[in-house]
Structure 1
Amino acid sequence: MTPAASLNPSGRLAGTHGSNAANSADEARLAPGDIAVGVIIGRASEYFDFFVYGIASVLVFPTVFFPTETRLVGTLYAFAIFALAFVVRPLGTLLGMSVQRHFGRSVKLTAALFLLGISTVSIAVLPSFGTAGALAVWLLIAARVGQGLATGASWDGLPSLLALNAPPQRRGWYAMLGQLGAPLGFLVACGVFSYLWSSLSTPDFHEWGWRYPFFAAFAINVVALFARLRLVVTHEYERELEAAELEPCSVRELASQQGGNVLIGAFASLASYALFHLVTVFPLSWVMLYSQQDVLQFLSTELAGAVLAGMAMPVSGWLADRVGRRTTLGALAVAIGAFSLATPWLLGGDDIGQDLFILLGFVLLGLSYGQSAGAVTANFQPRFRYTGAALTADLGWLIGAAFAPLVALALSARFGLGAVSLYLLSGAVCTLVALRTNRAISQRD
């Protein structure tokens, strides 16, 4: 042994140039916990925007933008506009990746989050139908399309980087962390609307009170923008993203070589995405239209449900690390299917039944949604993972969640809540088929 190469207290060689370089690389490597912070911050702000609009679609927009229609028709129109963001989201993803290729990741993220903030705050200052007529509705549509484009363009690849950096035995746990933004966003959005609904008279709420959550969403977006930029544009993150090949790729090449994985990944999360809106947005519309339960009381139940969902998500990570993510998602799809069959008796029952529907639904949502992100994205080749993961999520939201409130309310109004059971059950079946297909492909490969 040379004098320059001695044993350090841990028994490793120290004092050589090669070992110093290795140690420096290990120290510079990003910890999964640091990446998780960026993921949670980004997702929580996006979900807050998401739920502010969803709740307003029930409590506000039928009165403010569709006063000439019945409450049911006005809510259906509001849900149709709600779906537009998911329709244009894949386009936003592609536009964002084009900007990233030409101007860099930080420019793309800044532009996307500014568009999201501007679109959101624009809703807060829109005139009502009584003031501007049909122009008010078209302005609302434009703002919602802007939200969808911005959400797609804000994809930063951090969830994929988190999955790649997570310890093999704890990948389910770290996959769950990014999903915590959903219950956090809903908890804050629902809490704000509950406070305003209880503190203001009905005329004041519909005149100006409902606008405050959209102003709050803009402020949260600004904070999230700087928090995410501080993480994403550092040399450490850039190096890790490049080393993992998390960069945009050709969509045509992705479709021709691994398009099947995009479809399988989208359908693998279908049960969770369908349940997402059927326990958050749709039940509120049902209670407003067909139930005698007080709206504030129901919002309080949804707040409790969001807490339960947040508590259930860590359990989903624990389960996935022990029995596997695919097995966990399959078992939960079966549970969601069973839950769907109870929908007419619970949601169509008294206050206790409706509250039980919310609480059980949120627990199932926390368990399933905690593992729905990137369920099969490990199948992507490294150079396709960045674009493939983004488009898989976009397609899953479009197929499973975009039209869920609209379809569920329309079906239940026409055929009863039994039709909602079949709708949710179909999502569970699609998930099971997709997981089975993915398993067969994995065994073949």
Structure 2
Amino acid sequence: MTNPSEAMDRRSLRRAFAASVSGTTLEYYDFAAYSVASATILGKLFFPSHDELASTMLAFSTYAVGYVSRPLGGFIFGRLGDIIGRKQVLVATLLLTGIATFLIGVLPTHAALGGAAAILLVALRFAQGVGVGGEWGGAVLLSSEFGDPKRRGFWASAAQIGPPAGTLLANGVLALLAAILSTGAFESWGWRIAFLLSGVLVLFGLWLRLKLEETPVFKKIAERDEKPKAPVREVVTSEPRALITGILVRICPDVLYSLFTVFVLTYMVSKLHMSRGEGLAAVMIGSAFQLFLIPGFGALSDRVSRRTLYLIGTVAAAVWPFVFFPMLNTKSFLLIAIGMVVALGIHALLYGPQAALITEQFSARLRYTGSSLAYTLAGVLGGAIAPLVFTALLAGYGTWVAVAIYLVVTAVLTLTGVLLTRGARPDEDVQTAGQELQDETTALR
């Protein structure tokens, strides 16, 4: 029979897993709604220009702001997560991102406010980025610090499900609105509905997170009075290799994701003159597969070396654009959908093990700060500038080949990071990087 303490542990773990998945889904819904809208509608509404490409680049500039502000979120909320706890910080990040997204939904456009509309949009996008920057590290720890260290790849992948789930939800809402509304109605007010829905979704996320207890690991750190006083400084001075490793292993997956969920939409509409709906549908199909592939690859990394999976995924990421774009140029929706499923499947191969791979590089008392900084700084170097670079390369060279070569360069950086990781076998990985977590969790039972 299961004793009461084990039953309580399992309930806490299920709640933590659900809160991690739902919270990151809601935050990435907010982020993805803007990402998709920036590629399709926000340029003409907030940055009107006779040059469609220039308008899109300006919209992508505010997309980048959401990434550039992430390190601030990682700095502020990451250190707080190691000082005051995971739960309180995750409530704050959810509120910040949700409120900013809701306000985008009621923001007047350039036609009503002129340049002030663009400034306010950038400010709200900045706030979104700060919230997301503080979210990831805590969401990963929320599920992984309640779970068995031997299955950390699976439990940590809970937070990784959020981006494709949020992307799927955001694309679905925007695609539905575009389908049922006329072009004029969608551009006038329809797009706002996707942002206003954030208010309802945030209330659900808050309900889940407020019911959670603090993680066992942080409780033990607090009991021992081992909380860091200056976690950011300690990470930089005492664990610099872990920080560099965490940054490098994220760059290629971020660029890959930006390529296939943001830039491809622009390429299909502006270069191939295909409909917005076809692009959104292809992304939705690929994202739906990711919902299962990400936790699947996370679980696989508990049995096979995370480093090995990451090496395979990074090489595949560098090769696939050279296959995908010829498929895209056929304008066949079937081929495009298949290509998108493979592309986002490759991303899942990297993204599933990623959370465990990064958090394992840091000691438990600095794990929130270190993971958050690595995640957010990599976002600036990877996802933030990627759509701008892609658009500029396409404008400058007129071919997708330049875009694919850029992804290859980022793959080389990520391969370097993989070589710097702790390259232990799964059982040794638990005994070294996971031993501290296992000891602390066991001590509470």
CA contact (8 A) 2:139 2:159 kept: no
Distance 1:169 1:398 in 2: 32
Instruction: Indicate whether 1:327 and 2:304 are aligned.
Output: no
Q: C-alpha displacement at 1:177, in angstroms? A: 2.6
SS in 2 for 1:77: helix
Distance 2:280 2:136 in 1: 31
Which among 134, 156, 175 is matched to residue 175 of structure 1?
A: 156
Fraction of identical pairs, as percent: 31
RMSD: 2.7
Q: Deviations over 1:83-124 (max 9, x none)?
A: 111111121232335666887766544443332222111111
CA contact (8 A) 1:373 1:393 kept: no
Which among 214, 238, 255 is matched to residue 195 of structure 2?
A: 214
Amino acid of the structure 1 residue aligned with 2:400: L
Instruction: Indicate whether 1:378 and 2:322 are aligned.
Output: no
Residue matched to 1:20? none
1:307 and 1:103, CA in 2 relative to 1: closer, same or farther beyond 3 A? closer
Distance 2:241 2:215 in 1: 29
Amino acid of the structure 2 residue aligned with 1:177: A
Q: Deviations over 1:170-204 (max 9, x none)?
A: 33222323211122111111111111111111111
Aligned counterparts, 1:132-151, within 5 A:
132-151=113-132
Residue matched to 2:265? 284
Distance 2:221 2:142 in 1: 7
CA contact (8 A) 2:146 2:215 kept: no
1:311 and 1:96, CA in 2 relative to 1: closer, same or farther beyond 3 A? closer
Which among 395, 413, 418 is matched to residue 430 of structure 1?
A: 413
Residue matched to 1:241? 218
Which among 97, 101, 115 is matched to residue 116 of structure 1?
A: 97
Amino acid of the structure 2 residue aligned with 1:262: L
Distance 2:92 2:367 in 1: 23
Residue matched to 1:17? none
Q: What's the TM-score once normalised by structure 2's chain length?
A: 0.86
CA contact (8 A) 2:297 2:349 kept: yes
Which among 24, 32, 42 is matched to residue 43 of structure 1?
A: 24
Q: C-alpha displacement at 1:422, in angstroms? A: 1.0
Distance 2:142 2:82 in 1: 18
Distance 2:63 2:371 in 1: 23
Residue matched to 1:362? 344
Distance 1:267 1:105 in 2: 25
Amino acid of the structure 2 residue aligned with 1:408: F
1:100 and 1:36, CA in 2 relative to 1: closer, same or farther beyond 3 A? closer
Which among 280, 301, 317 is matched to residue 298 of structure 2?
A: 317
Q: C-alpha displacement at 1:262, in angstroms? A: 0.9
Distance 1:314 1:184 in 2: 12
Aligned counterparts, 1:69-148, within 5 A:
69-96=50-77, 108-148=89-129
1:408 and 1:427, CA in 2 relative to 1: closer, same or farther beyond 3 A? same
1:417 and 1:155, CA in 2 relative to 1: closer, same or farther beyond 3 A? closer
Q: What's the TM-score once normalised by structure 1's chain length?
A: 0.86
Distance 1:368 1:98 in 2: 26
Residue matched to 1:14? none
Instruction: Indicate whether 1:273 and 2:254 are aligned.
Output: yes
SS in 2 for 1:242: helix
SS in 2 for 1:260: helix
Q: C-alpha displacement at 1:366, in angstroms? A: 2.1
Amino acid of the structure 1 residue aligned with 2:406: Y
Q: Gaps (5+ residues) in structure 2?
A: 433-445
1:159 and 1:153, CA in 2 relative to 1: closer, same or farther beyond 3 A? closer
CA contact (8 A) 1:160 1:389 kept: no
Instruction: Indicate whether 1:228 and 2:209 are aligned.
Output: yes
Which among 391, 400, 406 is matched to residue 388 of structure 2?
A: 406
Q: Gaps (5+ residues) in structure 1?
A: 1-8, 11-22
SS in 1 for 2:33: helix
SS in 2 for 1:362: helix
**Worse-superposed segment, 96-105 or 64-73:** 96-105
Q: Deviations over 1:362-407 (max 9, x none)?
A: 2212222112224232122222212111111112222221121121
Amino acid of the structure 2 residue aligned with 1:270: I
SS in 2 for 1:375: helix
Q: How many positions carry a matched residue from both structures?
A: 420
